Amino acid sequence: MISKDHSNLSIAKQSELLKLHRSGLYYKPKGESELNLELMRLMDEHYADHYFKGAKRMHTWLTMDKGYKVNQKRIDRLYYRVMGLSAIMPGKHTSRRNKAHKVYPYLLRNLKVYRPNQVWATDITYIPMRKGFMYLVAIIDLHSRYVLNWSVSNTMDAQWCKETLEVAMTKHGKPEIVNTDQGSQFTSEVFTHLVLSNDIKLSMDGKGRAIDNVFIERLWRSVKYESIYLNPPDSGIDLYEQLNGYFDYYNNRRRHQGIDNQIPFKRYLKQQQKAA
């Protein structure tokens, strides 16, 4: 799929067209033990239905309910540092933010979202593979639930998030508000400058409140339960192909109860045409 000898397209351009960050082209299983990968897969599935559990309660579940003999320090590292998870209830470690970065207020409380491109939300999630794992970032239009852009990578870095948002803006125009969590990728100068320099308001979830970004959390649950968990990918290219097919289905054929059983792309396009 990717050709290093392509006469017209560079590796970077091919990666962009495939929504595959360059790091994903050279995918190698992360340096985690088989036990750690097993624990991460279990926590990821459990978290989808138990947002309120932080690393301490996840450790209790793994040791007392699942029978694993692992210490809290191991679970803390996997849960917060590697997987980037947080519980919806505030606690000591509920967000991997950089304290040197400015945090912006949450702007969506009591806000009525009534049209496309009013509010976009973005987030990163851990994706389990048959061997190892990668990360997925996506941008969703809250009014229509339309996935505007997405990308996969080996690493969670600010430049990757910025580039994914840039492509979405190029294709779909600018939103009034971009909502994120307080992760260091989104509080970084690289990301915040792109948002603010385009006269877009930046909104951030309250610390430890994954529920503030509930629509994209529901997207992650759909992606994983309807695709990834059923058929864990083997490679970065495998993951791209699987997600490309799933998001085509999600955007263009899957009806969503939260928007009166409408289809995201049709709802997004219909409202855009009305505005024009």
pLDDT, one tens digit per residue, over 250-263 is: 999 999 998 999 99
Distance CA 240, CA 237 (A): 5
Q: How confident is the model at residue 213 (pLDDT cuts 50, 70, 90)?
A: confident
Distance CA 180, CA 203 (A): 6
Q: What is the pTM of this model?
A: 0.83
User: What's the confidence (pLDDT) of residue 92?
Assistant: 39
- Residue, of 242 and 12, whose pLDDT is higher: 242
Work out the number of other CB atoms within 10 angstroms of the CB of residue 6. Answer: 11
The angle at the Cα of 247, spanning 21 to 270, to the nearest 5 degrees, equals 120
Work out the number of other CB atoms within 10 angstroms of the CB of residue 155. Answer: 12
Mean pLDDT of 12-32: 55
Amino acid in position 107: L
> Rounded to a whole number, what is the distance in angstroms from the first to the last CA of the chain?
38
- Sheet strands (E) in 49-182: 119-128, 133-141, 147-153, 177-180
User: What's the confidence (pLDDT) of residue 8?
Assistant: 55
Q: Is the pLDDT of residue 96 over 80?
A: no
Residues 140-175 have pLDDT tens digits of 999 999 999 999 998 889 999 999 999 999 999 999
Residues in the chain: 276
Q: How confident is the model at residue 90 (pLDDT cuts 50, 70, 90)?
A: very low
Q: Which of 196, 14, 264, 29 is nearest to 128 (CA)?
A: 29
Written out in words, the top-level CATH class of the domain with range 119-275 is alpha beta
Element (H or E) spanning 217, and its range?
helix 214-223
- Sheet strands (E) in the chain: 119-128, 133-141, 147-153, 177-180, 201-204
User: What's the confidence (pLDDT) of residue 17?
Assistant: 53
Residues 43-58 have pLDDT tens digits of 999 988 887 889 999 9
User: What's the confidence (pLDDT) of residue 88?
Assistant: 57
The CA–CA distances, whole Å, from 146 to 111, 143, 223, 249, 256 equal 19, 8, 13, 11, 10
Cβ partners under 8 Å of residue 30, min gap 6:
82, 132, 133, 154
Burial 199-224 (b: 16+ CB within 10 A, else e): ebebbbbbbbbbebbbbbbebbebbb
